[in-house]
Amino acid sequence: MADAKLKPKSVDGTEPHGAGNSPQETASTVEVMPPPDAIEPDPELTPEEAEQARKRYLLKRFWISARRYWGRGGDKFAWPFSIGLLALIGMNVGFQYGINLWNRGIFDAIERHDAGTVYFLSAVFVPLVLGTVAIVTIQVAVRMMIQRRWRAWLTTSVIARWLANGRYYQLNLIGGDHKNPEARISEDLRIATEAPVDFIAGVISAFLAASTFIVVLWTIGGALTLPIAGFTVTIPGFLVVTAVLYAAITSTSMAVIGRYFVHVSEAKNQAEAEFRYTLTHVRENGESIALLGGEEEERNDLDKTFANVLRQWALLARQHMRTTLVSHGSMLIAPVVPVLLCAPKFLEGSMSLGQVMQAASAFAIVQGAFGWLVDNYPRLADWNACARRIASLMMSLDGLERAEQSDSLGRIKHGETEGEAMLSLNDLSVSLDDGTAVVTETRVEIEPGERVLVSGESGSGKSTLVRAIAGLWPWGGGSVNFHADRRLFMLPQRPYIPSGTLRRAVAYPGAADSWPLDEIKAALDKVGLDYLNDKIEEDAPWDQTLSGGEKQRLAFARLLLHQPDIIVLDEATAALDEKSQDKMMQMVIDELPEVTILSVAHRAELEVFHSRKITLERREGGAKLVSDIDLIKRKRKRNLLSRVLEKRRSPPKGITTSTEGGTVPE
C-alpha cells in the first residue's frame, strides 16, 4: 500500500464519457462500460470440455471490450480510418491487376519483337510502380495508425479499470488467472490489438485478390482437354480448379500439422511472463536477498523458471519447423505449377507467351490469397494466446466490479460523518473475498485533533482494518465515514519512492513543482534529511539508494508539504530507532497541531504521542475491539477550583491515570 493523498470520492468506478482526438486524449476520456454478466460453466462438462469452453469464452470476452473502439464510446476516428484502409486495399488490388495486364502486354510484345510496344510499356511501368508503392505506403501508415489508436484506447480502458478503487491491489487478494498484469497490459495487449488489424486487412485483401484473379485465370486458361484411355476429358477453368485444390491441400496440411500451435504458443507466452516476473521480483527485493545471502536459492529458482521457457521454446520450434515445411514448400512449388499447366497450350499455339506469364502471375496471387492461413497460422496462434491472457485479466476485473455492485458478499460503505467527528467506523466488519471474517463489529468515532493508537498482536487484523479505512479492502460490512472535504494521507511501513528526482519523491503524490524548492528543503531539514538537499534535483534510483529509515523520514516530509487533515500511520516508524521515532512523532504534533492521527503500531513507546488507544484481539470468527481507553483525559469545561484540586491530586509529570485505573505514559 502506497502513501497517497485522498479525498472523499465515488466508489462506483465510473469515468468521464466521450472519445479523444488522439491516443493521449483518448487516454483521459475513454468510456468505462459495466462488466458483462458472469458465465458459469456447465456442470455436466468434462474438465477438458470445460477448459475448451473457458478458452472460447476468453476470446469472446476480449472482443466484448475491444470492439467498443468502433462503438458509441470509442474513438471518433475509428470508422474513418477503417473505411480509408478498405479503400486503399481495393486500390492496391486494382494496381495489382494493372501490373498483371502489363505482364501480358510486355511478354506478348517481346514475343512479337514489337520494339515500340516494349518501349511504351516500359514507360507505363514507372507510374504503375510509383502508384503501387504510394498506395502500399499509405496503407501501412493507416493500418498502423488504427493499431496505435486501438491499442491506446483499449490500454487506457484496461488501466482505468485496473487502477479504479484499488483493484490493482485487490487482485493480489483474490484467486484467478491474472498473474503479472503489467506484462499482460503492455505486451499481450499490444499483440492482441496489432494482429487483428493485420488479419482483417489481410483477409479482405486476399478475398479481393482471389475474386479478381480467379476471373483472370478462368478467362485466360479456359478449358483443358485431356485424352484418357481413349476418351477425352474436358476440365473447364482448369487453372482455377488447380489453384483451389492446391490451396486446399496446403491449408489442410497446415491445419493438421499446426493444430497444437495455439496451445504451445500460449504456454510459451505464459512461461516468458513468469520468467520476467521472477527477474523483476529479484530486482525489487535485491537488498533483502543480498543481506540474507539468498543468491544461490534465487539462481536455482531462475534456472528452473528459465528451463521452462527453453522447454516451451523447443516445443514451439518444432511447430515452426513443421509449418515451415509446408509454407516454404508451397512457396517453391506454386510459381512452377501454372507454367507447367499452360505449357501444352503454349506449345500448340493456343496460348501466347504473354498469356502464360499473366496466368503464372495470377495463379501466384490467387495461391497467395488462398494460402493466407498457411502464412499467418503462427501469428494467429500467438494472437489467440495473447488475447486470452488479457481477457483473463479483464475477467478478474469483471469479478471485482460485480462485487462492488453486489451485496452478496457485503461491501464496506464509505460516506460522511455527522457532526464534527473526523472519522467514524460504524459496525465495521472486514472479511475475505470468500466471506471469512477478519475483523467484526467495530465501532469507533474519532474527534478532530485526536491521536488514536490501534494495537493488538500480530495477525489480529490491524493492517487489514487500515486498508479498509483507506478504501483498498472492499469486502465486509458497516461503513467508514470521513468528515466532508477533509484530506486523508496514508503512511505505510514501506513508503513508495517513485522514479525520477528526489524532489519528485518528496512531493509525491503531488507534482514536483507544486512547492518551491525552499519549502521542500525545509521539509527535509525538519525530518533530518538535510544532507540530501544538494541532491534534490538529482535523478537517481532513490528507491534503491535510500535506506528503510530514510524512506520513512522522507514520508514524514511529505506530510509537512501536503498538510492533510487526517493521517493514518501503518507501522510508519518501524524502520526508525526509538530516538528518531520520537523526533518524527513530536515533529508531526508540533508542525500539524490540529491534525487527526490514526496509528497502527506494535511499539509501546508510541503511546506517549497518542491521546487514545484501541485494542484489537484475535478471536474465533474474526478480531474484535476489546478496549478503548483514553491515554490523555479529554478536555472538559471546568471551573478554576476543580482544576486546582485536580492538579493537587494528579500524579507526577509524565504520568496520567487511564480510564481502567492503571498508569501509562502521558
CA distance 203 to 142: 17
Answer whether 256's CB lies under 8 Å from 275's CB: no
Return the ∠ at Cα 207 (arms to 204 and 210), rounded to 5°.
145
Q: How many other β-carbons are positioned within 10 Å of the β-carbon of residue 177?
A: 15
Task: List Cα–Cα distances, 576 to 9, 131, 287, 551, in angstroms.
Answer: 33, 72, 18, 10
Amino acid present at 413: K
Can you tell me the distance from the alpha carbon of 109 to that of 115, in angstroms, rounded to the nearest whole number?
Answer: 7
- Which single residue is written with the C-alpha cell 461503513? 479
Nearest to 626 by CA among 425, 458, 456, 427: 456
Can you tell me which residue has the cell 483451389? 244
What pLDDT was estimated at residue 33?
Answer: 63
Task: Give me the phi and psi of 8, to 5 degrees please.
Answer: -55, 130
Best CA proximity match to 136, nearest among 190, 205, 196: 205
d(CA 261, CA 255): 9
| Burial classification of residue 473, based on how many CB atoms lie within 10 Å of its CB (0-12 exposed, 13-18 middle, 19 or more buried) | buried
CA dist 371 and 377 (Å) reads 10
The one-character DSSP state at 485 is: T
For residues 144 and 88, is the Cβ–Cβ distance under 8 A?
Answer: no
Helix (H) / strand (E) containing 189: helix 189-221
What is the structure's pLDDT at 10? 29
Give the separation between CA 653 and CA 666, rounded to whole angstroms.
8
Is the preceding peptide bond at 509 cis, omega within 30 degrees of 0?
yes
| Residue 68, pLDDT score | 92
Residues 608 and 612: their CA atoms lie apart, in Å, by 10
Distance of CA 360 to the CA centre of its chain: 48
**Distance, CA of 217 to CA of 212 (rounded, Å):** 9
Contact 394, 438 (CB under 8 A): no
CA 116 to chain centre: 63
Distance between CA atoms of residues 463 and 26, nearest Å: 37
Rg (CA), the chain: 36
Q: How far apart are CA 330 and CA 367, in angstroms?
A: 9
Quick one: pLDDT at residue 557? 94
The answer, as to whether pTM is greater than 0.75, is: no
Low-confidence ranges of the chain (pLDDT < 70): 1-34, 38, 40-41, 226-227, 229-230, 287, 373-374, 406-409, 433-436, 441, 459, 621-626, 633-666
Q: Alpha carbon of 641 to those of 637, 647, 648: distances in Å?
A: 12, 10, 11
Name the amino acid, one letter, at 542. Answer: W
Q: How many residues does the chain have?
A: 666
Residues pairing with 225 in the sheet: 234
Nearest residue to 502 via CA among 545, 529, 535, 528: 535
Closest CA to 380 of 508, 244, 231, 258: 258
Q: Cα torsion at 129, 132, 134, 140 (round to 10°)?
A: -140
The grid cell for 303 is: 534456472
Which element (helix H / strand E) includes 426?
strand 423-431
Q: Which residues contact 387 (CB under 8 A, 6 or more apart)?
A: 58, 59, 62, 188, 192
Place of cell 486446399: 248
The C-alpha cell that represents 42 in the structure block: 456447465
Helix, strand, coil shares of the chain as percentages rounded to 5?
60, 15, 25
C-alpha cell at 256: 493438421
Which of 275, 306, 302, 271 shows the shortest CA–CA distance to 289? Answer: 302
DSSP annotation string for 148-176: HHHHHHHHHHHHHHHHGGGHHHHGGGS-S
550 Cβ neighbours under 8 A, 6+ residues apart: 529
Cα(273)–Cα(147) distance, rounded to whole angstroms? Answer: 23
Instruction: Report how far residue 574's alpha carbon sits from residue 354's, in angstroms, rounded to the nearest whole number.
Output: 86
Cα distance between residue 451 and residue 607, in whole Å? 10
End-to-end CA distance of the chain: 31
Chain centroid offset of residue 604 CA: 42
- Grid cell in block for residue 334: 506454386
Amino acid at 136: V
Q: How many Å apart are CA 556 and CA 491, to the nearest integer?
A: 8
Q: How far apart, in whole angstroms, are the C-alpha atoms of residue 490 and residue 4? A: 6
